Amino acid sequence: MSQHRHPGAPSRAGAVPALPDLPEATVARLPEYLRALHHLAETGHETVSSEGLAAAAGVNSAKLRKDLSHLGSYGTRGVGYDVGLLVEQIESVLGLTQRRAVALVGVGNLGHALAGYAGFASRSFRIVALFDADPARVGEEINGLVVRHIEELPRVAGEERLAIGVIATPAGAAQAVADQLVAVGVTSILNFAPCVLSVPDGVDVRKVDLAIELQILSFHEHRKASLTALPGTGPSTLTTLAGGAPTTDPQEAIGT
């Protein structure tokens, strides 16, 4: 997916706890735990068991405990986890104690929605600039931010350190935009354009592709449809009694 080639060097303590070199799969789940914890805190829970938190986050409880153990978590045997403490721990590990500046490039259909999306304007992230290459869109105001021309990117980056770049342009423009973002020092990119980006080592790219998600779902629909005719887990003789029952689901076929 993206490139993480941090060497196996022992983690050096800075001002922050330790950076215990978490497994990527764990990192991907921490935000989900965090959301569940916030929800628990709002509903008055002070502690939570691994079972309860796991259920709220939609994972196995053993997996959750192992994940939390990776960040040297402080749970109490026989009691559970302190919700507030765990929130702090996870936010600290994820680096959410600092507010990061986000730049959004491409204010088309999707970009426009992202600019106004609440999930982006959380406590830890702030959209500081909107860019587009289309002069017709430059100057438009969205959610209190004025769309600037992409050529102004270096100037904006000079005023404020941009931590994350979000690309919501058409596929054809995405690579050029990525290059420009990297050139001004951005080391994390969230790519909504349907194409692969090539970036230098040390730059992280995460991709969100709606069409791909649909196609994956399509595969499972296809699989399930071809399974509906199965006799079930009977005593296995497994006579392929397919007979007349066609396995094709009754949706319109597309002519090639």
From residue 198, alpha-carbon distances to 2, 177, 235 in Å are 10, 11, 53
Q: State the binding partner of 66 from DNA, a copy of itself, none, CB within 5 to 8 A by kind.
A: DNA
Q: What is the DSSP letter of 244?
A: T
76 CB-side CA count, 13 A: 9
Using CB under 8 A as the criterion, what x/- string covers residues 82-101 for binding a copy of itself?
Answer: ------x----xxxxxxxxx
Q: How far is the CB of 35 from DNA (least distance, A)?
A: 18
Residues 6-45 close enough to bind a copy of itself by CB under 8 A: 6-7, 9-10, 12, 14-16, 19, 22, 27-28, 30-32, 34-36
State yes or no: residue 2 binds DNA (CB under 7 A). no
Binding residue for a copy of itself, selected from 60, 72, 79, 161, defined by CB under 8 A: 161
- Which residues, at least 6 apart from 89, have a Cβ–Cβ distance to it below 8 Å? 71, 73, 74
Residues 23-42 close enough to bind DNA by CB under 7 A: 23-26
State yes or no: residue 145 binds a copy of itself (CB under 8 A). no
For residue 245, give the amino acid letter.
Answer: A
Q: What is the DSSP letter of 174?
A: H
Q: State the binding partner of 215 from a copy of itself, DNA, none, CB within 5 to 8 A by kind.
A: a copy of itself
Tell me the C-alpha distance between 105 and 131, whole Å.
5
Among 120, 113, 115, 116, residue whose Cα is nearest residue 131: 115
Residues 192-231 close enough to bind a copy of itself by CB under 8 A: 194-196, 198, 200-204, 206, 208-227, 229-230
Among 191, 31, 81, 226, residue whose Cα is nearest residue 22: 31
State yes or no: residue 60 binds a copy of itself (CB under 8 A). no
- Contact range with DNA by CB under 7 A, out of 34-42, 72-80, 167-175, 181-189: 72-80
Q: Are 6 and 21 in contact (CB under 8 A)?
A: yes
Which residues in this chain contact DNA in the complex, by CB under 7 A? 23-26, 48-51, 59-63, 65-66, 68-69, 73-81
